[in-house]
Amino acid sequence: MSRFREEIGEQPLLASRMLADSRGAVTAIATRLRESKPRGFVIAARGSSDHAALYAKYLFGARNHMMVALAAPSLFTSYGRAPSLDGQCVIGISQSGAAPDVIAVIEEAARQGAVTVAVTNETDSQLAKAAELVLPLGAGPEQSVPASKTYVASLLALALVSQAIDPDSSFEAALGQVPPALAAALEQETELDRLVPALMGPRAIVLGRGFNFSTAEEIALKLTETSYVLARAWSVADFEHGPIAVVEPGFPVVLVDGRGLVSADLESIGRRLGEQSCRVVRLLDGAGEHSDQDTVSLDSGLPEELTPLTLAVLGQLLAHRLALARGIDPDRPRALNKVTRTW
């Protein structure tokens, strides 16, 4: 078994551990934010962590009614023209805590007097040292180059912060159901083999919307780095504003659907693409009958806000199965290292 697959399988236990162990750090962050009353969040991240930041954009916006901006680290590094961060809470997300450009954003935010938070798997990292507050992922060593458990842990960490800022009993109960929901996603592994033939390359499109736009981005990255399929993600809304022109008969499209308020949009684009003879496959989490051979679904019972966790696991498993089918070692993508240091 590859390390990538082993680490995918660790996620239910990791989620249980985070729910038990992160309360102190999460409470400290929420307390500090209530004291400082930030106008919004600025989040710095790269790679998979940037997709977690995109998730936070929807989560903090919908649950906490706060604006979220995704930082442009190059303004802080290459251009040396950092914007004003007055009144913002600045979050850096990096599994290694070693991304120089993310660290630069946090260091500048601290210099300007903003509240700073590091979400990282390495509590003794430079990022953690630069931030006022640290939320450890506690995922243990992630040895496979493609991120799996640290990505889902980042999503869960952000959801815990959101809940701590604005407590809600139903959302708290849903967070408690994340570990068994992730376990249920793992049980769908062999079902995903039905989708593999459509994605054998050389290209694919992954579509989501709302909370699962971030999931579409992450799945596209996983397909690209583990299987060398050139996958591109779009929000359904943006896709219909021009990129849809690229499709043709047989073109593979993955729909990622958390069965929430935007589900009708995904169903609509699925029908439209089917009418153009595209090869449409679906990853779904939500109630309903799904007998289509090109669909893999589960009903975790989680609210739409938390389905990016289960759907990310399905996407990771799909990427793993596709890599095996293409004869590629997912642990060692060519030209990639575990820690990427960009400035």
Quick one: pLDDT at residue 1?
Answer: 84
Alpha-carbon gap, residue 335 to 324, rounded angstroms:
19
Q: With contact defined as beta carbons under 8 Å apart, do 198 and 246 qualify?
A: no
**Dihedral class, residue 266 (left if φ above 0, else alpha if ψ from -120 to 50, else beta):** alpha
Q: What is the DSSP letter of 122?
A: -
Cβ-proximal residues to 82 (8 Å cutoff; 6+ apart), any chain: 75, 76, 105, 108, 112
Q: With contact defined as beta carbons under 8 Å apart, do 172 and 165 qualify?
A: no
CA 56 to chain centroid: 9
Specify burial of residue 34 (Cβ count, 10 A radius: 0-12, 13-18, 19+): exposed
Quick one: pLDDT at residue 35?
Answer: 96
Quick one: pLDDT at residue 339?
Answer: 58
Using N-to-C axis directions, what is the helix angle for 149-165 and 169-176, rounded to 10°? 160
- Domains with residue ranges and CATH for the chain: 3-175 (3.40.50.10490), 182-325 (3.40.50.10490)
Quick one: pLDDT at residue 145?
Answer: 87
Residues lower than pLDDT 70 in the chain: 288-291, 335-343
Which residue's entry shows tokens 């909370």? Answer: 211
User: What amino acid is encoded at 183 in this protein?
Assistant: A
Compute the half-sphere exposure of residue 200: CA atoms within 13 Å on the CB side of its CA. Answer: 8
Cβ-proximal residues to 139 (8 Å cutoff; 6+ apart), any chain: 10, 14, 95, 121, 149, 150, 153
Cβ-proximal residues to 87 (8 Å cutoff; 6+ apart), any chain: 38, 39, 40, 114
Quick one: pLDDT at residue 118?
Answer: 98
Which residue's entry shows tokens 């977690």? Answer: 52
Alpha-carbon gap, residue 224 to 7, rounded angstroms:
19
Alpha-carbon gap, residue 17 to 15, rounded angstroms:
5
Quick one: pLDDT at residue 331?
Answer: 82
Q: Which two tokens stand for residue 1?
A: 């078994």
The neighbour count for residue 141, using CB atoms within 10 Å, is 10
Alpha-carbon gap, residue 71 to 33, rounded angstroms:
19
* 252 preceded by a cis bond (ω within 30 of 0): no
Residue 253, SS3 per DSSP:
strand
The answer to whether the predicted template modeling score (pTM) of the entire model surpasses 0.85 is yes
Specify burial of residue 246 (Cβ count, 10 A radius: 0-12, 13-18, 19+): exposed
Digit-coded pLDDT (tens) for 231-243: 999 999 999 999 9
Alpha-carbon gap, residue 11 to 8, rounded angstroms:
6
The neighbour count for residue 250, using CB atoms within 10 Å, is 10
Quick one: pLDDT at residue 337?
Answer: 61
